[in-house]
Amino acid sequence: MKALLPLVLMLLASPTFAAITVFTTANHPAINADSETRVIFLDAPDRLQNAMFGQFSSDPSSAEKEAKSGLQRMSIEQQQQIVEAWQGVIAAWKLGIEKYPAVVFDDVDVVYGTTDVDIASNIRTQGGHQ
């Protein structure tokens, strides 16, 4: 047990890195995001569904048949893509994101109006003032 104490103290003293998430759309990609930055495209569910299903008929009964047929043809990978896309939208909703683009630090601090992680980090550092 005593041998673990130095290791635990080193872990506690190591620097922590901010978890950064950029909430945006495909038309406004993240800028200055590194490999650790999570990027969530809020328009991903619509884009994926349009790509997979296309435009549905305006007739409700035909649209229902088209949707059922499309669902039966979906691969496991496509299903997973849809699920992950909606998980990103749900994450934004749970965090209370009011508009996009938004850069979120540690699921707490939010900087709206930019997808540039460096700019958002500077604004955050300056207490929300640019």
Contact 73, 54 (CB under 8 A): no
Place of tokens 């958002």: 120
Q: Per-residue confidence at 105, pLDDT binned at 50, 70, 90?
A: very high
Q: Is the pLDDT of residue 47 over 60?
A: yes
Each residue's pLDDT tens digit, 68-93: 888 888 888 988 898 899 999 999 99
Each residue's pLDDT tens digit, 110-130: 999 999 999 999 999 887 655
In the structure encoding, which two tokens stand for residue 98, read together? 């009011």
Show the CA angle centred on residue 94, arms to residues 115 and 97, nearest 5°. Answer: 35
Contact 96, 12 (CB under 8 A): no
Each residue's pLDDT tens digit, 4-34: 555 444 445 444 445 999 999 999 999 999 9
pTM, rounded to two decimals:
0.75
